[in-house]
């Protein structure tokens, strides 16, 4: 029998309201959340570390009038430094690392009154679209325990979808908030570039990674964006915007993947059904096409990602006096590190020029349209381990790892890029070009699995997207559409 079964009927703002009205205490809610961890995490493997005493100690120094005061919260175990707690990034290499100070991101979570009590499962350094690290093993999707919740914020998504917490931290460098939101039936919002602070020094090396949260309600996401983007307490422009109806948007619809891949028929059905919902709300929806993003663009993104990873881990190795060896990390991580360390200034400048050109083309699209609509993912949540390297793939990459010369690494880079982008053909483009994007849980497959629909707006138009999301939430509510194990 569950403690406080009504707990899952509230979003984060709802729970905060109960605390302010003294219906429950933060300690009550933490007990509920921990009971759900005990009950559900053995099946989900979503949470890899808890710190109850530290969570309770924050209550004594927080403003009781903070918007999320006392609400249980989980941090993604990646790029989120919480003083006195480990940040392992899903890697054996980082085990034993304890953050000495709070990162700016965590400071703002604390300023919101959140009671952070644990860290969630991630793939190693967030580099995969499923959460199946060698260090912690696979996180599982509460909708179907034989499937992945996605990645890299897969542990956070599984915990929210199962009702352990109403909201959890995520970051997104190629779809890592939107992918698990789609697979787990959540609202996943990626702010535009530079809107939220970096979680740790690692993300300062990357222009594509953005920090935010995964939520069950749009209003929780809007309120948190106010906290993360506005250092001043008590200012809630995004949350307040939700009270106004957005009207007459010009929405362009794209069903074909940007990079070579296939799209499941349930996904296409969900996209067109959502188009009809948007039309019923008074918006114009029409099929459109972009310029054709090509392999050069995908390779440029992978090169810049490899460089950022290499620079970040070099910095970490110096600070911790921990030299990195081949056996310390997974094979695909090692290949990326080797590639990143061998890129010249000319290679990086050329890759950045390709990304900049894509950004300019995306800006031009938004001169004619308010919003772009696509699938979030081309497929349904994948079966566990279905994204593993095949034996022959591992053999070839292992050989290259033993002889890491630049020509061989370039071939490995091409292979890895094609493999990754065939899995995530819709989300990474908007990390490259910097626009805000969101995955909205508006459809269910024939198998009863969630299907997210992605919406993208021009830079600085986060408010417009959130208004549209709130409108869609009102037209097609998803809050009580829950996996069986979360009830």
- Active centre residues (catalytic): 76, 152, 176
What is the SS3 assignment for the chain?
Answer: CCCCHHHHHCCHHHHHHHHHCCCCCHHHHHHHHHHHHHHHHHHHCCEEEECHHHHHHHHCCCCCCCCCCCCEEEEECCCCCCCCCECCCCCCCCCCCECCCCCHHHHHHHHCCCEEEEEECCCHHHCCCCCEECCCEECCECCECCECCCCCCHHHHHHHHCCCCCEEEEEECCCCCHHHHHHHCCEEEECCCCCCCCCCHHHHHCCCCEEEEEECCHHHHHHHHHHHHCCCCCCCHHHHHCCCCCCCCEEEECCCCCCCCCCCHHHHHHHHHHHHHHHHCCCEEEECCCCCCCHHHHHHHHHHHHHHHHHHHHHHHHHHCCCCCHHHCCHHHHHHHHHHHHCCHHHHHHHHHHHHHHHHHHHHHCCCCCEEEEECCCCCCCECCCCCCCHHHHHHHHHHHHCCCHHHHHHHHHHHHHHHHHHCCCCCHHHHHCCCEEEEEEEECCCCCEEEEEEEECCCCHHHHHHHHHHHHHHCCCCCCCCHHHC
């Amino acid at each position: 029998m569950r403690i406080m079964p009504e707990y899952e009927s509230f979003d984060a703002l709802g729970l905060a309201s109960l605390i302010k009205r003294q219906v429950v205490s933060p300690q009550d809610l933490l007990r509920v959340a921990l009971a759900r961890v005990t009950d559900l995490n053995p099946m989900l493997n979503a949470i890899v570390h808890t710190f109850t005493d530290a969570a309770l100690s924050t209550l004594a120094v927080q403003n009781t009038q903070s918007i999320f005061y006392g609400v249980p919260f989980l941090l993604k175990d990646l790029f989120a430094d919480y003083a006195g707690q480990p940040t392992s990034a899903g890697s054996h290499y980082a085990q034993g690392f304890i953050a000495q100070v709070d990162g700016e991101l965590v400071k703002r979570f604390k300023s919101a009154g959140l009671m952070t009590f644990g860290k969630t499962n991630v793939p190693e350094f967030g580099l995969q679209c499923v959460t199946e690290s060698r260090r912690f093993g696979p996180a599982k999707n509460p909708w179907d325990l034989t499937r992945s919740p996605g990645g890299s914020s897969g542990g956070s998504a599984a915990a929210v979808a199962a009702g352990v917490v109403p909201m959890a931290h995520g970051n997104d460098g190629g779809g890592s908030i939107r992918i698990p939101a789609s697979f787990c039936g959540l609202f996943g919002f990626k702010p535009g570039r530079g809107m939220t602070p970096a979680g740790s020094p690692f993300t300062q090396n990357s222009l594509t990674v953005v920090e935010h949260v995964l939520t069950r309600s749009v209003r929780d996401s809007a309120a948190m964006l106010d906290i993360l983007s506005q250092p001043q307490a008590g200012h809630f422009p995004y949350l307040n915007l939700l009270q106004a109806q957005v009207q007459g948007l010009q929405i362009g619809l794209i069903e074909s993947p940007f990079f070579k891949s296939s799209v499941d028929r349930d996904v296409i059905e969900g996209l067109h059904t959502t188009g009809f919902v948007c039309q019923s709300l008074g918006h114009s929806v029409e099929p459109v096409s972009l310029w054709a993003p090509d392999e050069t663009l995908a390779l440029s993104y992978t090169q810049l990602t490899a460089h950022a990873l290499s620079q970040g881990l070099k910095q970490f190795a110096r600070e911790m006096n921990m030299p990195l060896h081949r056996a310390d990390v997974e094979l695909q991580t090692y290949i990326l590190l080797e590639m990143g360390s061998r890129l010249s200034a000319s290679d990086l400048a050329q890759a950045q020029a390709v990304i900049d050109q894509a950004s300019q083309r995306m800006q031009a699209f938004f001169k004619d349209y308010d919003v772009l609509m696509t699938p979030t993912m081309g497929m349904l949540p994948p079966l566990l381990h279905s994204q593993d390297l095949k034996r022959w793939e591992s053999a070839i990459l292992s050989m290259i790892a033993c002889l890491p010369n630049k020509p061989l690494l370039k071939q490995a880079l091409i292979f890895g890029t094609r493999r990754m982008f065939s899995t995530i053909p819709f989300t990474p483009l908007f990390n490259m070009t910097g626009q805000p994007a969101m995955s909205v849980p508006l459809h269910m497959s024939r198998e009863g699995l969630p299907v997210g629909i992605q919406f993208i707006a021009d830079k600085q138009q986060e408010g417009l997207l959130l208004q549209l999301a709130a409108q869609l939430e009102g037209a097609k509510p998803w809050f009580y559409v829950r996996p069986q194990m979360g009830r």
